[in-house]
Amino acid sequence: MTDTNSTAPAIAVEDLWQVFGENAASALRDARGAGDDKAIAQALKDKTLIPAVRAANFEVKSGELFVIMGLSGSGKSTLIRCISRLIEPTAGSVRIDGEDILQASDKRLIDLRRHKLGMVFQHFGLFPHMTVADNVAFPLKMQGAGKAERRTRAMEVLELVGLKGREDTYPRNLSGGQRQRVGIARSLAVNPDIWFLDEPFSALDPLIRRQLQDEFLNIQATLKKSIVFITHDIQEALKLADRIAIMRDGEIVQIGTPEEIVLHPVDDYVAEFSKDVPKGRHACVESILMDGIPDNMPDDPGIKIGMTLDTALTKCMELYEPVPVRDAEGKVIGAVHPHELANALQAEET
Amino acid sequence: MSAVEAVPQGAGRRVSLTRGSQAALFVLAVVLLCRLLGAQFEWLVKWPAALTVPMADWMTWLVGGFLDVFKPIARTFTFLVSYPMEWVGWLLNAVPWPMTVALVTAIGWMIGGLRLAALGFFGLMFVVFTGYWSQGMNTLALVAVSVPLALVMGAAIGILAFEYPRMKGAVNALLDVMQTVPTFAYLVPLLVLFGFGPVVGLIASAIYAAPPMARNVLLGLERVDTEIREAAVMSGGTRRQQLFLVELPAATQQIMIGVNQCLMAALSMVIIAAVIGGFDDIGWEVLQTMRKALFGPAFLAGSVVVVFAIIIDRMSAALAEPRQPQNRTVAYGILAVGAAVTIWAVLAGWPPSGVAAMDGVAKRVDEGVGVFTATYGTTLDSIKNTSMFYGLLPLRIGLAEAVLPFTWGFAWTVKHTAMLYGAALLISLILIFKGRVTAAVMVLIIAYIAEIGVAHLAWPVVILGAGAIGWVSGGWKLARLAVILLSLILISGLWERALLSLYLAGAAVFACAVIGGLLGLWSAMSSTAWMILRPICDFLQTIPLFVFLIPVLMFFQIGEFSAFIAICMYAVVPMIRYTRHGLVSTPDDIIEAATASGAGKWQTMFEVRAPFAAPTILLGLNQTILYAFAMLVIAALIGTTELGQSIFLALGQYDVGLGITAGAAMAILALVADRLVQGFAEERRQALGL
């Protein structure tokens, strides 16, 4: 899924800080001398300030689905609001397609939001006094689009999210899942390049949630937006993400593909998240390739690149010697030891 | 004999002093000082006249000069506003009444279906039959011009405070002042500025009606969901677009509540402003008939005011709620019927200014009241006299003066004083033994108040007492505020009258707290009780202050007792409402926990619901206090001797300085009481973690 051949990052976040409290900016400048990021954060806390986001650094590639995951209070919602500049970060830089939006004027910011950015909210943020169609068309109205044009576009997006026929009802007459479809439709109305989603499915029932996740993936497969997606649900993160950033206490503790997070957690905190995750379903054989390819491999159960550990293991349950891993053309490009396969899967049981 | 020494001796163990008992002991010390040394040093009890500052004169000079500067502008404004007012008045009077009735009925239908259509129809038909149609229309003309003014002003203030959070503190203070300063007080400077005439009433009512609008706009905007706000930002709206296309519409419901309150306040104030006269409106009619003791007409005119109030209130309140669209054809039908009746009425020669079919009723009411008071006169008198002689009078001038042979059957002597303090001391010793120091000290202080009365309280006791309560409820800052503000009244020379205001308001608030608290408890326990009390509360809150005086006057004549009853009738409502609301809105999971622990209905009420309701009930008390002070000024119309009367005097004599000073003194009393109670409410809320 990872799209590696893109060029400049869609979003680049560098040393981003969000500190709450009085005179946060100057306090942060003073605390810079304290040492590394942890020491700075501690110095701020000593002054009863709250460092909600600490030295965040990451890039989102064009067309990438980047998930930020963490427990509530870990600063993920604050972080996405810094990137979309709904709140003013205390320090650092956020570049969207190379443009530092923290330096953008109010006018420029409005312009960006009208054409380039879209956002979906956890509790939908629908305007109660507007019909579904008016809600969806609202960003277009901001742009100054004509009535007919707005209506046409609203109908297009509503069809995309499966709400055709409900355009003239009010949000209060819709179910939770339908409301979030409206939220999604609204954020897509201006066809933005960058798509922010703040826990979009967290307020929904598990069944509806799964349904919307699938539809969301379908939409993304055709639209190819650059996405920042916030969630506290590891399953959701693993299911959707190209890459995941895990946050704790305002700090990004690990960034990696779903596989890396599951198989190589950097610390206990991250490991704790993926404890209950069936790893065999998320990790692929590539993650446990042996160093070099042994000359003599008696068995060839047909392991292919991109195969999950679960599938691979069922194919070599009875085997004890290393087996070859082939690419799509059937060329051997590596080998795995069945023993390693079993080990990797066992890690989850603890 | 001081309780300070009694603590270690009586209890024999260390009792740690709470903040409350420290404050109470401090006040007791002040009381002792004033009581024991008051005879030698008279200045301890009575502020020397030589140190009184002629604040009223200064005000006359200062404000007078200020007013002179702005007079030309104000007079121009008067000139300009009088045009729309005359037009609206002309229009309302020129439209034949069947057409107006049909229009209001049709509007009622569109807003709230059959129910409001019926209300509009029968309400206005009642007005037609009383014969007060043209006076009523004149009143509505004033409301119709002052309300848009108040709405625009209020909305602008609310939006401003929301957009510039730095101004919020200042705006809130301004709104407090606009609402607590008695309306009559600013009538005087307004009279000077704008000249005699209905325009003053219009402006006063706009000033009075703007704050509720401003508060509700601010509240509504603040309550708009953050995500909705952010969604508007992320849609790329400019600040203005966000405000007018998203935030204000999203706050509509709250804003409509503001519109409703604004309308009611404006109507109430227009009626009050009728004391200025010069405009043949319904308020003037009420006042005139009341002054002439013509209770029948006063009652009818008062009913017209109430009918207007109810129609305006219910219709505008319905606007704040989501509603079903109504069939337009029916509305057109109603208008057509109205037009038909109009033509017929014109042919039949009915006067456009109503059909006075109710003169007979007015006469009946007069006669009825006459018969009633003749029959039950002795009962009414004995109610009045008992309350006066054994309740209000001792509270005002103290047992020492109120106990006289011809009322109590004996004369108060030193012996009785000794008995009073002896009994108090005994009770307080028992309380100390039980470890309740604060209560013990309070008993002694109450004995002192009972002996000499509120009106004769030594000034250090009042000022430092308020300071001590402020210290307990909100720390040094509040204590300082209370002491400084009250000292201003002291040196202004209005102290005696202020104490009388304090006494009357205090007595009324106390009565309201007890009666309202019990009624609130009753309606929390029984839904039948609430079904009975709720419409009564609604009714009492809808009718303009002025009208309360009519029934009271009918039965108890002019005097302090009537004023007391009128204040109670008006001020008891919030106490009932808040008590009930506090008691029934305890979180469900907590009630479940209590039930699971085996608590009975009353146990749950007192152990769980009451503590949770405490902050809400305190807020109710706070409202009751503010209501009582608001009514105090109106009640002064029927005979009191406190600040309210000074304000009336000032109005009559065109005395700007006295009006402003007395108004400010009244506002200070209300403001200090308000802050003290709010401090306690806040403390309780935090203790409960709400």
User: Which tens digit of pLDDT belongs to each residue from A332-343?
Assistant: 888 888 877 777
Record: contact A186-B241, CB cut-off 8 A: no
**Residue of chain A with shortest Cα separation from B225:** A125
**Residue of chain B with shortest Cα separation from A87:** B230
Record: contact B234-A138, CB cut-off 8 A: no
Is the domain of B689 the same as that of B540? yes
Chosen for mutation from B226, B229, B234 (greatest number of chain A CBs closer than 10 Å) is: B234
Summarised one tens digit per residue, pLDDT across range A207-243 is 888 999 999 999 999 889 999 999 998 889 988 999 9
Q: How confident is the model at residue B352 (pLDDT cuts 50, 70, 90)?
A: low
| Residue B15 pLDDT | 52
**Residue of chain B with shortest Cα separation from A110:** B236
DSSP assignments along A22-39, one per residue: TTHHHHHHHHGGG-SHHH
Q: Which CATH superfamily is domain A281-346 in?
A: CBS-domain (3.10.580.10)
Q: Between these two residues, A243 and A347, which has the higher pLDDT value?
A: A243
| Residue B353 pLDDT | 61
Q: Are B505 and B628 in contact (CB under 8 A)?
A: yes
Closest Cβ opposite residue B238 in set A110, A115, A121: A110
| Residue B329 pLDDT | 87
Is the domain of B290 the same as that of B370? no
Structural domain including B372 reads 358-386
| Residue B554 domain flag | yes
Is the domain of B306 the same as that of B369? no
Q: How confident is the model at residue B404 (pLDDT cuts 50, 70, 90)?
A: confident
**Residue of chain A with shortest Cα separation from B248:** A129
Q: What is the mean pLDDT of residues B430-444?
A: 88
Q: How confident is the model at residue B197 (pLDDT cuts 50, 70, 90)?
A: confident
Q: How confident is the model at residue A306 (pLDDT cuts 50, 70, 90)?
A: confident
Angstrom distance (rounded) from CA B573 to CA B505: 15
Chosen for mutation from A119, A142, A170 (greatest number of chain B CBs closer than 10 Å) is: A142
Is the domain of B304 the same as that of B371? no
Is the domain of B544 the same as that of B610? yes
Residue with tokens 């509720």: B212
DSSP annotation of B7: I
Record: contact A113-B227, CB cut-off 8 A: no
Residues 6+ apart with CB under 8 A from A50: A19, A20, A21, A44
Whose CA is closest to A15, among A69, A53, A46, A43?
Answer: A53
pLDDT at B598 over 70: no
Q: Are B463 and B490 in contact (CB under 8 A)?
A: yes
Length of chain A: 350
Record: contact A142-B236, CB cut-off 8 A: yes
Strand partners, A325: A303, A334
Q: Between these two residues, B129 and A94, which has the higher pLDDT value?
A: A94
| Residue B34 domain flag | no
Indicate the CATH number for domain A60-278. 3.40.50.300
Give the SS3 label for residue B287. helix
Whose CA is closest to A20, among A51, A47, A43, A42?
Answer: A51
| Residue A157 pLDDT | 92
Q: In A, which residues are within 8 Å of B237 by CB distance? A: 110, 142
Chosen for mutation from A83, A109, A116, A138 (greatest number of chain B CBs closer than 10 Å) is: A138
Closest Cβ opposite residue B250 in set A121, A122, A127: A127
> Cα B259 to chain center, whole Å?
19
Is the domain of B249 the same as that of B159? yes
Q: Where are the domains of chain A?
A: 60-278, 281-346
Closest chain A C-alpha to B230 CA, distance in angstroms: 7
Is the domain of B318 the same as that of B371? no
Q: Between these two residues, A18 and B286, which has the higher pLDDT value?
A: A18
Record: contact A125-B238, CB cut-off 8 A: no
| Residue B537 domain flag | yes
Record: contact A122-B227, CB cut-off 8 A: yes
Summarised one tens digit per residue, pLDDT across range A19-69 is 998 888 888 888 888 888 888 988 888 888 899 999 999 999 999 999 999
Q: In B, which residues are within 8 Å of A144 by CB distance? A: none
| Residue A346 pLDDT | 64
Summarised one tens digit per residue, pLDDT across range B224-242 is 888 899 999 888 888 888 9
Q: In A, which residues are within 8 Å of B227 by CB distance? A: 121-125
Closest Cβ opposite residue B236 in set A124, A128, A139: A139
Structure tokens at A47: 């002054």
Q: Between these two residues, B199 and B213, which has the higher pLDDT value?
A: B213
Give chain B's contact residues with A (Cβ, < 8 Å): 225, 227-228, 230-238, 241, 245-246, 249-250, 252
Q: How many CB atoms lie within 10 A of CB B293?
A: 13
Q: In B, which residues are within 8 Å of A183 by CB distance? A: 231
Summarised one tens digit per residue, pLDDT across range B444-457 is 999 998 888 888 88
**Residue of chain A with shortest Cα separation from B247:** A127
| Residue B351 domain flag | no
Q: In B, which residues are within 8 Å of A112 by CB distance? A: 236
Closest Cβ opposite residue B237 in set A142, A186, A190: A142
Is the domain of B381 the same as that of B511? no
| Residue B584 domain flag | yes
Whose CA is closest to A120, among A8, A258, A213, A14?
Answer: A213
pLDDT-above-70 percentage for chain B: 95
| Residue B629 domain flag | yes
pLDDT at A205 over 50: yes
Q: In A, which residues are within 8 Å of B228 by CB distance? A: 125-128
Chosen for mutation from B235, B255, B256 (greatest number of chain A CBs closer than 10 Å) is: B235
Closest chain B C-alpha to A284 CA, distance in angstroms: 38
Q: What is the mean pLDDT of residues B379-385?
A: 86
Q: What is the mean pLDDT of residues B578-598?
A: 78
Q: In B, which residues are within 8 Å of A127 by CB distance? A: 228, 231-232, 246, 249-250
Summarised one tens digit per residue, pLDDT across range A248-271 is 989 999 999 988 888 888 888 888
Q: How confident is the model at residue B1 (pLDDT cuts 50, 70, 90)?
A: very low
Q: What is the mean pLDDT of residues B65-91?
A: 85
DSSP assignments along B624-639, one per residue: HHHHHHHHHHHHGGGT
Closest Cβ opposite residue B252 in set A81, A114, A129: A129
Summarised one tens digit per residue, pLDDT across range A264-292 is 888 888 888 877 777 677 777 777 777 77
3-state secondary structure A199-260: CCCCCCCHHHHHHHHHHHHHHHHHHCCEEEEEECCHHHHHHHCCEEEEEECCEEEEEECHHH
Whose CA is closest to A250, among A89, A19, A5, A48?
Answer: A19
Q: In A, which residues are within 8 Å of B238 by CB distance? A: 110
| Residue B361 pLDDT | 77
pLDDT at B12 over 60: no
Q: Are A39 and A48 in contact (CB under 8 A)?
A: no
Summarised one tens digit per residue, pLDDT across range B456-509 is 888 899 999 999 999 998 889 999 999 999 999 998 888 888 999 999 999 999
Select from B343, B367, B386 the last residue of a domain: B386
**Residue of chain B with shortest Cα separation from A124:** B227
Q: In B, which residues are within 8 Å of A122 by CB distance? A: 227
Summarised one tens digit per residue, pLDDT across range B529-578 is 999 998 888 888 877 777 888 888 888 888 888 889 999 999 999 999 99
| Residue B10 pLDDT | 39
Closest chain B C-alpha to A190 CA, distance in angstroms: 9
Is the domain of B570 the same as that of B688? yes
pLDDT at A10 over 70: yes
Q: In B, which residues are within 8 Å of A141 by CB distance? A: 245
Summarised one tens digit per residue, pLDDT across range B630-645 is 888 888 877 777 788 8
Q: What is the mean pLDDT of residues A321-344?
A: 81
The answer, yes or no, to whether ipTM is higher than 0.95 is no
What CATH number does the domain containing B182 carry? 1.10.3720.10
| Residue B119 pLDDT | 93
Query: Across all residues in chain A, what is the average pLDDT?
Result: 86
Query: Across all residues in chain B, what is the average pLDDT?
Result: 84
| Residue B100 domain flag | no
Q: What is the mean pLDDT of residues B662-687?
A: 86
Please tell me the total count of domains within chain B: 3
The highest-confidence range among A69-73, B40-44, B57-61, B347-351, by mean pLDDT, is A69-73
Closest chain A C-alpha to B215 CA, distance in angstroms: 22
Record: contact B236-A118, CB cut-off 8 A: no
pLDDT at B310 over 70: yes
Closest Cβ opposite residue B236 in set A113, A127, A130: A113
DSSP assignments along B580-618, one per residue: HHHHHTS-HHHHHHHHHTT--HHHIIIIIIHHHHHHHHH
pLDDT-above-90 percentage for chain B: 20
Record: contact A84-B245, CB cut-off 8 A: no
Q: In B, which residues are within 8 Å of A130 by CB distance? A: 249
Record: contact B236-A114, CB cut-off 8 A: yes
Report CA-CA distances (Å) from B362 to B294, B365, B376, B547, B686: 9, 5, 21, 16, 55
Summarised one tens digit per residue, pLDDT across range B258-281 is 998 899 888 888 888 887 766 788
Q: In B, which residues are within 8 Å of A171 by CB distance? A: none
| Residue B466 domain flag | no
Closest chain B C-alpha to A247 CA, distance in angstroms: 22
Chosen for mutation from A129, A150, A195, A230 (greatest number of chain B CBs closer than 10 Å) is: A129
Q: How many CB pairs under 8 A join A and B?
A: 68
Record: contact A110-B236, CB cut-off 8 A: yes
